[in-house]
Amino acid sequence: MAGAVTSGAQRSGAERAAALLLSLGKDLGGALMARLEPAEIQRLTRAISELRQIETEEVDYLLEDFTTRVEKASSVRGGFDKAEQLLAGQFDAPRVMAIMDELRSPDRSNIWLRLAQIDAQMLATYLTAEYPQTCAVILLKLPPHVSAKVLSLFPNDLAVEVLVRCLRSRSVQKEVMEEIENSLSSAFVATFVQADRSESFKQVAEIFNGFDRQTESRLMAQIEEISRDEAEQIKTLMFAFEDLTRLTTTSMQFLIQRIDKSKLPVALKGTSASLQNFFFDNMSERAGAALREDMELLGPVRLAEVDAAQTLIVATAKELIDLGELDISRGYEEDKLVY
């Protein structure tokens, strides 16, 4: 017993966490892992894969030790210093410094979030006038899919040079990064303001997506009286059940597999023949016939039930769009999502 306790006490934090997760079982342990950051999951996965058999006595010790630590930590005090100490145990010094700088300077961090949302051609035009090293620093701070779009618009020689500099990039001095951020803020200040306004329209469109049909029609009519142009912009950004026809064939078939099939007959009740045929065309002949039969057997259906069923299907579609599993680019700008 004493040997087991000594062994448990000498284990690293990752080994202790791995043993605890395994003792919780697949469902609960897996659910906890899903809540961790990618780097933490990777570290734990490695620890689990390298963990050898642990005797019951040692598991009991680890569980008791964990419970004791939690009970002692019932009253805690946070702060930047505490956060930095915790990060220092997980990341190297440059990464810790970068994370803490973003926390202490949220306005500067926000620059990168906004920059990722502006037009790729506009950003590419700006960067081609910068030094390749500066381009590399900026592109490494942006999401990879944004950087890929921008680099694809560069002249070939410049794109290659910037990529090489990205490969050989080292940590950037704080003063240099601040100068780059200030330059970007000055160069794109008008674009940032426009992006903020665009974001507000998207949020309002999402609110309208949550209304029932009567509320939507009533409020939209009132907004049209105030500003027809703004009302049209909201309509353009809204994603209605009828907009599912904009999905590609592959995406529509994938969506049909993922939705609650019991909601389909209700959702299609009273819709146009073209919309119904769009669903039938993306189903097997047998499934389509069964759906037609279910719709005929339904009889009259309350509008509220139809709205609820359609809203549920649209919500599933939006979730899959956000995950990149549905293609809604038909008739629209490439990669632009419309809600």
* Residue 180 and residue 244 in one domain: no
> What's residue 106's pLDDT?
45
Q: Which long-range contacts (CB under 8 A, 24 or more apart) does 92-98 make?
A: 94/171, 97/174
- Are the beta carbons of 269 and 298 closer than 8 angstroms? yes
Distance CA 275, CA 278 (A): 5
Residues in the chain: 339
**10 located within any domain:** yes
Which CATH number do you get for residue 144?
Answer: 1.10.220.30
> What's residue 255's pLDDT?
92
Helix/strand/coil for 55? coil
* Residue 238 and residue 291 in one domain: yes
* Residue 56 and residue 122 in one domain: no
**79 located within any domain:** no
**86 located within any domain:** no
In sequence order, the 6+-apart residues with CB closer than 8 A to the CB of 325 are 251, 254
> What's residue 79's pLDDT?
57
**220 located within any domain:** yes
In sequence order, the 6+-apart residues with CB closer than 8 A to the CB of 104 are 80
> What's residue 1's pLDDT?
40
Distance CA 295, CA 291 (A): 6
Q: What domain range is 302 assigned to? A: 206-322
* Residue 164 and residue 251 in one domain: no
* Residue 277 and residue 309 in one domain: yes
> What's residue 5's pLDDT?
43
> What's residue 270's pLDDT?
81
**53 located within any domain:** yes
Regions in the chain scoring below 70 on pLDDT: 1-10, 38-39, 69-87, 89-110, 186, 188-200, 209, 213, 236, 328-339
> What's residue 2's pLDDT?
41
Distance CA 114, CA 107 (A): 11
* Residue 54 and residue 142 in one domain: no
Look up residue 30 and give its two tokens: 């897996």
> What's residue 200's pLDDT?
66
Q: Count of domains in the chain?
A: 3
* Residue 251 and residue 179 in one domain: no
**195 located within any domain:** no
Residue 45, sorted as left (phi over 0), alpha (psi -120 to 50) or beta, turns out to be alpha
> What's residue 94's pLDDT?
64
Type and span of the H or E element at 49: helix 38-50
> What's residue 290's pLDDT?
92
**14 located within any domain:** yes
Domain ends where: 153, 187, 221?
A: 187
* Residue 213 and residue 182 in one domain: no
* Residue 318 and residue 225 in one domain: yes
Distance CA 107, CA 68 (A): 40
* Residue 125 and residue 55 in one domain: no
Which sign does the torsion angle of CA 305, 307, 311, 317 carry? Answer: positive
**98 located within any domain:** no
Which pTM value belongs to this model? 0.35
3-state SS record for 56-102: HHHHHHHHHHHHHHHHHCCCCCCCHHHHHHHHHCCCCHHHHHHHHHH
* Residue 212 and residue 248 in one domain: yes
* Residue 28 and residue 66 in one domain: yes
pLDDT digits (tens, 9 = 90+) for 38-90: 667 777 777 777 777 777 777 777 777 777 765 555 444 555 566 666 667 66
